[in-house]
Structure 1
Amino acid sequence: MAVINTRKRGTKWEYRFESAKIDGKRKHISKSGFRTKKEALEAGAKALAEYNQSGLTFIPKDISMHDYLDYWYEEHCVLNLKYNTLVNYKAHIEKFLKPAFGKYKLSALSSASIQSFINDLKKQGYSKSHTIGIKSTLSASLEYAVEPLNFITFNPCKNVKNPKFEKQPEKRFVISNDDFNRIINRFPPDNIFYTPLMIGYHAGLRISETFALTWEDIDFENKTISINKSTVKRYKDTKNQKEPLGWFFQTTKTKSSVRTIKIGDTLIKALKLARKKQIENKLFYGEFYTRIYQENKIDEKSNEIKKIIEINSNVDISLDEIEMICVKENGEYVSTDSFKYCSRVINHSLKIDFNYHSLRHTHATILIESGANIKDVQTRLGHNSIETTLDIYTHNTERMENETINIFEQAIK
């Protein structure tokens, strides 16, 4: 076992201990600059413990859940997960997991204590999705402690049962044809929300996909839209989200979300009108038209990301200019945050139950009710698996029920 030695060099103290031989030669680890012998010994003991743990600054069996959750977040989550997932995990860690388990050792966590915690979340009124989401975050952290870290031998979350929740109807609104016409009358072609509304209804895109579209993604000749990115609002601190860094392009929700889909003449006509108007506005405003660029940045995973930059003057800069579809008359970017106003008007003024996702849901429902191939619908929506499409969109509607009984009546005649 290595022994910590100290010696005084001038007015300062140094610690020193022997490390493993390299190429058969003895090696030492040392550091000087300490005011007293005691300080040198304490620092040497800490350095030796870290050396014996292959560089870890803690002993795995003694680490607290508070410190382990921070370690897992920084060493795994930040390097491997998408920004929105990081935000959710950080909220779960700080608001729920640290207060409940932070003071205990990682090695002491039991299935019983976790089960009690999960049951309490339900008793406090948290929803099924929120409760299971928190549990999933905890389970993911403990699974990482099992493999690849080998800090613990078993994930105690695996034995924890989800409490029974009464099934709540999901808020998935189908917009009738009459209601959509009312919406479009309220937000006509000269309104900044007309184009994103038409894209959602006629193409079924997610809101983050719609507001990431550029004119390069539209093929007017072949009547297609290419979905290859989405937008996200990033913050300096993922915990409190008080200091926004701006809007960024990010990858789509899943690999299957990258797709090119056909669109009909109605949407083509709307997009051509928007394109024509945008070109006219650019000429009218001239140098005062806001140009949008993308700036390459490095994120917390050391990956290259692209920030959306707006410059409201015609200056020569070394960035790639991009032509966003969703912009104001003067060229300023229209974001998903801006669309919240449109949603409020539809809900409160027009009295229509609405969120942007309801346009996607309506698009899929119309296709399925009209007999579209379910595999084609899956591809069109960018779902990772056909089970997702079947679970969400093949619900019973009044039209489906009527068709079912009509089929039966015809069969027995």
Structure 2
Amino acid sequence: MASYYKYQTAKGQRWYVKYSKPNGKQSSKRGFKTKSAAQKWLRTYMVDIDHYGNAENMTITFAIVYKKWLPAYAESVVDTTAHKTKQIFKNHILPALGSYPVADISVPLLQRLVNHWDKILVKNDCALYTNLVLRRAVQLGYIHTNPMNSVIQPKKKARPAINNYFNQQEFKEFLTHIKADYQPDNPRAFMMLWLAAATGMRRGEILALEWNCVDFKHNVIQIKRSLKRATKSYIGSPKNKSSVRKIAVDETTMNYLHRWKHQQHKLMIYFNFDTYKIKNQLVFSTYRKNKPMPEAAADKYINHITKKYGMKHVTFHGLRHTHATLLVEHNTNVKTVSERLGHSSMETTLRVYVNMDKQPNHKVANTFENLMN
């Protein structure tokens, strides 16, 4: 039951309506120029209650639902994944949808956004995460249906192959340059790049490597930690179960590591760190504080070399790619390479790392021709 009343303001006569909320409490709404305008507002209000259950839900924004959804999601994934997800929302989803009431988010609006994200992003997870938040909005009763269910997802584009590796000739040239530039004056940089190239270890694995995981007697490195990045960098578990592994290391690399261990000790003594006595001493650490090095330092080392000598731009991760590709090209069993890299399957190794610049193999064709004749 509703009642309508007139009242006087400085701007003239106005109407207000008294009505009952679904919980039985009395409320009112003022400021209508005519009685019919007040009646129209009340009819809309009652329709909203029938549709949404609570008219206040009409003002719940996407950003509010995101904040309600995030804590449970963050508990269900590793913190590095949670950090990346937050960055996706911060950079793309919230600027586009954050201020919209979830009740006003329509299929056409989402379709335009999904198409836009597909054009500007190489890896587009925005639609996936938007869907998760809107699904939560349905669960909380803010909307009855998830408009994302009616959005047509763009066809996945084949990702172009990225030539992020050195061929054998380029690789030998690269090793020559790091010896000349880093071996005498920056042994830490030399050792880091050489180790990455010689073992195919991930950047995070190298930056978290401790001397107690280097077995000089058996020429083996045990990988059980990795540098992670969330709100800040920290050392944690490797990428997956397959990443915990032991890898054989060649004699030359082990000799370089042995030399670097002594060089590091001499350098760190200057900063009052006796690296021989520190139980979990990192193979690569900052000098002044003996802390894990930032990932950007590893990138800086390789970028300096490729830029200085006009080489093809290959990232630090590209040394891992180089290691895998050259091993397979020289007839190393793919399963062996996969285990060395810490992949969960051989398919990952073949799909991600061993697919570049392959020339048609005429020898194989000729062999099969002989079988047919």
Residue of structure 2 equivalent to 1:183 = 177
Aligned partner letter, 1:324: L
Q: Deviations over 1:277-300 (max 9, x none)?
A: 234445x53xx43468xxxxxxxx
Letter of the 1:370 counterpart: H
Q: Is 1:337 the equivalent of 2:300?
A: no
Deviation string 1:348-375 (CA, Å, 9 cap, x unpaired) is 2122222101100001001111222222
Of the three residues 62, 65, 89, the one matched with 1:65 is 62
**Could you tell me which of 172, 179, 195 is aligned with 1:199?**
195
Which of 325, 350, 367 aligns to 1:390? It is 350
Aligned to 2:20: none
**In structure 2, C-alpha distance between the alignment counterparts of 1:255 and 1:146, rounded to whole Å:** 36
Report deviation, 1:134. 1.9
Return the match for 2:73 from 77, 80, 84. Answer: 77
Question: What is the aligned partner in structure 2 of residue 134 from structure 1?
Answer: 126
Residue equivalent to 1:239: none
1:217: how far off?
1.2
Equivalent residues of 2:60, 2:142 under 8 A apart: no
Residues 110 and 344 of structure 1: CA distance in aligned 2, closer, same or farther (over 3 Å): same
8 Å CA contact retained: 2:83, 2:230: no
Pairwise CA distance, 1:122: 4.1
The change in CA–CA distance for 1:157 and 1:202 in structure 2 (over 3 A counts) is farther
CA contact (8 A) 2:163 2:356 kept: no
The answer on whether the counterparts of 1:291 and 1:332 sit within 8 Å (CA) in structure 2 is no
Structure 1 stretch displaced more, 370-379 or 159-168: 159-168
| Deviation at residue 215 of structure 1 after TM alignment | 0.4
The TM-score, its normalising length taken from structure 1, stands at 0.64
Aligned length: 309
1:169 aligns with 2:161: yes
Q: TM-score, normalised by structure 2?
A: 0.71
Is residue 243–residue 342 contact of structure 2 (8 Å, CA) maintained in 1?
yes
Q: Cα gap change, 1:108/1:177 in structure 2, threshold over 3 Å: closer, same or farther?
A: same
1:289 matches 2:246: no
For structure 2, the 5+ residue unaligned runs are 1-26, 28-54
Counterpart CA distance in 2 for 1:77 and 1:366 is 40
Letter in 1 for 2:162: E
The amino acid that maps onto 1:229 is: R
Q: State the Cα distance separating 1:71 from its structure 2 match.
A: 1.2
The secondary structure found in structure 2 opposite 1:351 is coil
1:359 aligns with 2:355: no
Q: Using the TM superposition, give the Cα deviation of residue 163 of structure 1 relative to its aligned residue in structure 2, in angstroms.
A: 4.9
**What CA distance in whole angstroms lies between the structure 2 residues aligned with 1:411 and 1:59?**
73
Aligned counterpart, 1:248? 234
Output the aligned Cα RMSD. 3.3
| 1:89 aligned onto 2:85 | yes
- Bigger proportion of residues as helix: 2
> Match for residue 40 of structure 2?
none
2:281: which partner in 1? 323
Contact 2:265 2:274 in 1 (8 A): no
Q: Check if 1:216 corresponds to 2:174.
A: no
Which amino acid is the alignment partner of residue 386 of structure 1?
M
Q: 1:397 to 1:170 in 2, by over 3 A?
A: closer
Q: Note the C-alpha offset of 1:119.
A: 1.0
Are 1:128 and 1:165, in contact at CA under 8 Å, matched by a contact in 2? no
Q: Distance in 1 between matches of 2:209 and 2:318?
A: 19
Q: 1:280 to 1:98 in 2, by over 3 A?
A: closer
Moved more, 136-145 or 363-372: 136-145
Q: Is the Cα–Cα contact under 8 Å of residues 209 and 284 in structure 2 kept in the other structure?
A: yes
List alignment gaps of at least 5 residues for structure 1. Answer: 1-37, 39-57, 236-244, 293-313, 315-319
Q: Is the 8 Å Cα contact of residues 299 and 316 (structure 2) preserved in structure 1?
A: no
1:328: Cα distance to partner? 5.9
Which amino acid letter does the alignment assign opposite residue 154 of structure 2?
Answer: N
Counterparts of 2:92 and 2:287 in 1: how far apart (Å)? 45
Shift of 1:138: 1.8
Secondary structure in 2 matching 1:261? strand
* Cα drift, residue 203 of structure 1: 0.9
Once residues 227 and 153 of structure 1 are traced to their aligned partners in structure 2, the CA distance between those partners, rounded to angstroms, is 49
- Give the whole-Å Cα distance in 2 for the aligned partners of 1:406 and 1:291: 58
Give the aligned partner of residue 26 of structure 1. none
The Cα offsets for residues 40-62 of structure 1, whole Å up to 9 and x where unpaired, read as: xxxxxxxxxxxxxxxxxx98787
CA contact 1:209–1:230 (8 Å) conserved in 2: yes
Percent identical: 23
Match for 1:270 among 256, 259, 265? 256
Q: 1:259 aligns with which of 245, 262, 272?
A: 245
Which structure shows the bigger proportion of residues in strand conformation?
1
* CA–CA separation in structure 2 for the residues paired with 1:192 and 1:268: 14
Provide Cα deviations, 1:203-233, integer angstroms capped at 9, x if missing partner.
Answer: 1111111111000111122222122121135
Distance in 2 (alpha carbons) for counterparts of 1:265 and 1:153: 66
Is the aligned partner of 1:116 residue 2:112?
A: yes
